[in-house]
Homo-oligomer: A and B are copies of this chain.
Amino acid sequence: MRVSQLFTKTSKTAPADEVSKNAQLLIRGGYVYKEMAGVYAYLPLGIMVLENIKKIVREEMNAIQSNELIMTALQRQEIWEKTGRWSEEVVDIWFKTKLQDDTVLGLGWSHEEPIVEMLKNFVQSYKDLPISLYQFQTKMRNELRAKSGIMRGREFVMKDMYSFHATAEELETYYNETIDAYKRVYQRLGLGDDTYVTFASGGAFTKFSHEFQTICDAGEDVIYLHREKNIAINEEVIDEAIAELGINRDELEKVKTAEVGNIFNFGSQKTEEMGLQFTNNEGQLSPIYMGSYGIGITRVMGVIAEKFSDDKGLVWPEAIAPAQVYLAPIGTDEAVMLVADELYEVLTAAGIGVLYDDRDERPGAKFADADLLGIPLRVVISSKTVANAQYEVKSRTAAEPEMLDKAALLKRLGL
């Protein structure tokens, strides 16, 4: 993409009311636009990052045989009344609205109940199970406060997945497969080393649920961590977990984290409340076992922005960067522009994302933008590099650039 064709511009400042680092950096880079607290639009570069994250999540969910669909934001009262969760005393983050005939509708903050209701159309027999399905949905949650940028949105994108099984054992097996799939997701996103499967509060069916907690100073959670044993416990269940696991509190390290995923074993509680059953192979009506698995897509983007950034700006991991290369010709010398145009075409044709800074701007401004935007590799072309048939190449995290010839540059980019 040519920078001259991008309508966004970088900015040295963020809105005064924006206190979170992730949103400050993302707004300054033109990745997001703040519509109001907790409500952000995703601008062209922001969409690219979001889609890169979604692609990784989609691939891993498809790999565990889940089907993608998309449910609706507008939701019916009677569905949520079946589990008692329509009440604002039970769920305090509902947004509600009304049809013209005054029928009250809810705006989806979760899709557990609507998915179970929908499945009544598709599940009758044991032959119809297991089922796993997921969506990337824009959720609406009427949060009282929203000061963590895109890490806690009133409107945000979530991948939510639900699975349905004939037995508790089959659910357990799939639940563990999902833990592995989630680990692959965070690994690919560059968060693997800092993300822990964490014991968290469970429900009627299981003592604990599991959260995926990423070490992050801007996070809103606190976990207790045993790095050696790879055990993590949300502080809300620390006493029960210590007792259950037989570990010593002194061995645990207290760290601030952000919850980037959670998985929940509902057993058959929710399906029974909603009346979703199946006929087993002996002709008997039987309960269905259900799991629920979430990844906050926009939150993950925020956590990555928090963790991978420095005083110059963002530092995207390659897997989700909006482009791999920031291509910056210096000056408007014809020979320079020819070499830059040619490299842009070669890389683009090879499927390498390039942000081509074709503006007539001074070098310092281009370098500052390359840094703020956090593009993994900066390639500078000047009269001097052209004369030497070289390219000035600098990784976003390197202190100094290096000079590479074309073959070496292409090799560096895996071509």
Contacts and interface: CB of A to CB of B under 8 A. Distances in A.
Nearest to A73: B155
Contact of A5 (B9, B67, B98, B154): B67
A396 to B, nearest CB: 24
A388 interface: no
Interface in A1-57: 5-9, 11, 30, 33, 35-36, 39-44, 46-47
A11 B119 CA distance: 14
A61 to B, nearest CB: 12
Given A8-B122, A74-B155, A68 B96 contact: no
Interface in A101-136: 105, 107, 114, 118-119, 121-122, 128, 131-133
State the copy count for this chain: 2
Interface stretch (A137-145, A199-207, A249-257, A259-267): A137-145
Given A7-B122, A99-B142, A44 B73 contact: no
A70 interface: yes
Contact of A96 (B67, B74, B97): B97
A234 interface: no
10 tightest A-B contacts by CB? Answer: A7-B131, A44-B67, A95-B97, A41-B71, A35-B72, A97-B97, A42-B70, A43-B69, A39-B74, A39-B72
Band of interface residues on A: 35 or more
Interface of A: 5-9, 11, 30, 33, 35-36, 39-44, 46-47, 65, 67-76, 95-100, 105, 107, 114, 118-119, 121-122, 128, 131-133, 138, 140, 142-144, 154-155
B40 A72 contact: yes
A81 to B, nearest CB: 15
